[in-house]
């Protein structure tokens, strides 16, 4: 009888001890809430007077939208909770119109979220720098940003304008709050890491899609199986025509053209295009053509890529006097500048001597252009080469402005247009006069019967 009672009392004692230890440990837990309260404490410091709230409600709507798309609000809240920040906010125009559309599409792709975050954090300094704290003309300040291993240089010009990196401050101290301030800048600041990532994605060398061994290849033009192309020796012309290597449109990637400019890059097309554009500017009288190539279109980039792939080009460059005669209607249509320049680019390497010898021997020569299917007509006139015909014509005015073996630039004194576009309206009355309706045998019999009754005498 004693042993069961002793066992029960010992078990009761063990339960009491365990319960006491559990209660002591539970009482100790609330005194160490650091892993759970850090985020709540940082977010609790954000109030309606914060610089982040002011950014979302300011006129920098494009930047605020990118911050939300980049999922950076929580990161910026933690940064504001630790120290003041300075935000360099680009204008809406800089993000809407001045930014390259291809680069903007690159930033908004879901796979490039890290690049977008890096770009935005590059505009933020974890320190309060007001306009009166800006460095003087003699010195420059180098400050780290929220982006790792990236710094911004603050300086002042002799005119007194404040500059951050290469962007000018257009609205200093635009928004001032207790935990930070916002300066308005004229354009977007792009860190080198984001620019390199964009160039790497855009480069044709980054295409690593490999067909399985033995898989059949289909020609997209003929929809037939094609045999593997033989290896192309270095320095030989490309296998594909130049029209297959051109970019189909602004929203499509350029077609890779197998040629000597592949992985080895025997030709540096970008440098050659820059050289001939600088030559146009230094030569004088061709500023409008250079401006269209660089600013209004992306043709300079495409020409550089084509030359890098092994293609050759001849540019018929109208001078400034000829470009000034273009009307607003001719330039206002979408894609009009590109179409005009495409018609002035010949996918051959021609010099003044080679073209003059051709027209002198054959009389008239038609050259293919990058504007399919239109060609430009050349003929001899007054000891020179005349392009086009009729009112739409131009003479070879400044020969061999630039010749490097890959790109040839010939100056002309007029802007050329396809012949079909100018004669389209005149062709209609000519056709009406030339064509005569043919009367059938049944119609002649009917007219003769009606003529006997004195009606429809005009049928005779």
Q: How far is CA 229 from CA 136, 169, 219, 238, 245, in A?
A: 63, 55, 12, 12, 16
Distances (CA, A) of 216 to 221, 227, 288: 15, 9, 49
More confidently predicted of 92 and 18: 92
Q: What is the mean pLDDT of the chain?
A: 77
Q: How do residues 4-38 score in pLDDT, each as one tens digit?
A: 444 444 444 444 444 554 444 444 444 433 333 33
Residue ranges per structural domain of the chain = 46-198, 269-417
Residue 401 contacts residue 280 (beta carbons within 8 Å)? yes
At residue 322's C-alpha, the angle toward residues 317 and 324, to 5°, is 120
pLDDT at 332: 81
Q: Would you state the structure tokens that stand for residue 76, as one six-digit string?
A: 């910026």
pLDDT of residue 438 exceeding 80, the answer is no
Most confident of 37-46, 211-220, 371-380: 371-380
Strongest mean pLDDT among 14-28, 140-154, 419-433: 140-154
Q: What is the pLDDT of residue 289?
A: 92
Tokens for 166, please give them.
Answer: 């290469």
Q: Check pLDDT > 50 for residue 425.
A: no
Q: Residues 6 or more apart from 247 whose CB is under 8 A from it? A: 253, 254, 255, 302
Q: Name the superfamily (CATH) of residues 269-417.
A: FAS1 domain (2.30.180.10)
Cα-to-chain-centroid distance, residue 448: 72
- Whether residue 64 contacts residue 55, with contact meaning beta carbons closer than 8 Å, is answered with yes
Q: Is residue 427 predicted with pLDDT exceeding 60?
A: no
Q: What count of other Cβ atoms lies within 10 Å of the Cβ of residue 142?
A: 10
Q: Give the chain's radius of gyration (CA, Å).
A: 36
Q: Check if 46-198 and 269-417 are the same fold.
A: yes
Architecture, CATH, for domain 46-198 = Roll (2.30)
Q: What percent of the chain has pLDDT over 70?
A: 70
Average pLDDT estimate for 447-453? 60
Q: What is the pLDDT of residues 378-390, one digit of tens each?
A: 999 988 999 998 7
Can you give the pLDDT at residue 35? 36
What pLDDT shows up at residue 420? 61
- Predicted pLDDT of residue 270: 86
Tokens of residue 425, six digits: 């309206």
**pLDDT for res 7:** 45
> pLDDT for 183-202, tens place per residue?
999 989 989 888 888 887 76
In this prediction, residues 80-90 reach a mean pLDDT of 90
Give 405 or 204, the one with higher predicted confidence.
405
- Tens of pLDDT, residues 246-291: 876 544 444 444 444 444 446 788 888 999 999 999 999 999 999 8
Q: What is the mean pLDDT of residues 39-67?
A: 76
In this predicted structure, the answer to whether residue 212 has a pLDDT above a threshold of 60 is: no
Answer yes or no: are the C-beta atoms of 317 and 407 closer than 8 Å.
Answer: no
């Amino acid at each position: 009888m004693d042993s069961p009672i002793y066992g029960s009392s010992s078990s009761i004692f063990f339960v009491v001890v365990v319960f006491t230890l559990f209660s002591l440990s539970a009482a100790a837990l609330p005194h160490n809430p650091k892993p759970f309260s850090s985020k709540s404490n940082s977010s609790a410091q954000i109030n309606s007077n914060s610089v982040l709230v002011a950014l979302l409600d300011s006129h920098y709507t494009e930047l605020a939208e990118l911050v939300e798309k980049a999922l950076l609000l929580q990161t910026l809240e933690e940064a504001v909770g630790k120290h003041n920040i300075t935000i360099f906010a680009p204008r809406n125009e800089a993000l809407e119109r001045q930014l390259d559309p291809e680069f903007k599409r690159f930033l908004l792709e879901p796979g490039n979220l890290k690049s977008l975050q890096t770009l935005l954090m590059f505009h933020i300094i974890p320190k309060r720098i007001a306009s009166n704290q800006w460095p003087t003309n003699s010195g420059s300040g180098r400050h780290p940003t929220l982006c790792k291993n990236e710094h911004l240089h603050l300086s002042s010009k002799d005119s007194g304008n404040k500059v951050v990196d290469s962007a000018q401050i257009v609205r200093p101290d635009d928004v001032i709050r207790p935990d930070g301030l916002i300066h308005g800048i004229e354009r977007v600041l792009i860190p080198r890491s984001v620019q390199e990532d964009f160039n790497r994605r855009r480069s044709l060398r980054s295409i690593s899609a490999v067909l399985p061994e033995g898989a059949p290849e289909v020609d997209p033009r003929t929809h037939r199986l094609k045999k593997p192309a033989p290896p192309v020796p270095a320095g030989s012309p490309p296998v594909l025509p130049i029209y297959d290597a051109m970019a189909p449109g602004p929203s499509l990637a350029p077609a890779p053209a197998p040629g000597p400019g592949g992985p080895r890059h025997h030709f540096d097309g970008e440098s050659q295009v820059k050289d001939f554009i600088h030559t146009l500017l230094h030569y004088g009288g061709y500023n409008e053509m250079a401006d269209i190539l660089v600013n209004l279109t992306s043709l300079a980039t495409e020409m550089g890529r084509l030359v890098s792939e092994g293609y050759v080009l001849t540019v018929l460059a109208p001078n400034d006097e000829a470009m000034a005669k273009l009307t607003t209607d001719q330039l206002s249509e979408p894609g009009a500048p590109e179409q005009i320049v495409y018609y002035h680019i010949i996918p051959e390497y021609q010099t003044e001597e080679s073209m003059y010898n051709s027209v002198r021997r054959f009389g008239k020569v038609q050259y293919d252009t990058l504007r399919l299917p239109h060609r430009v007509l050349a003929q001899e006139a007054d000891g020179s080469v005349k392009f086009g015909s009729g009112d739409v014509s131009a003479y070879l005015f400044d020969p061999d402005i630039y010749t490097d073996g890959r790109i040839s630039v010939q100056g002309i004194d007029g802007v050329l247009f396809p012949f079909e576009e100018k004669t389209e309206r005149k062709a209609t009355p000519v056709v009406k006069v030339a064509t005569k309706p043919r009367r059938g045998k049944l119609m002649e019999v009917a007219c003769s019967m009606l003529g006997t009754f004195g009606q429809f005498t005009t049928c005779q």
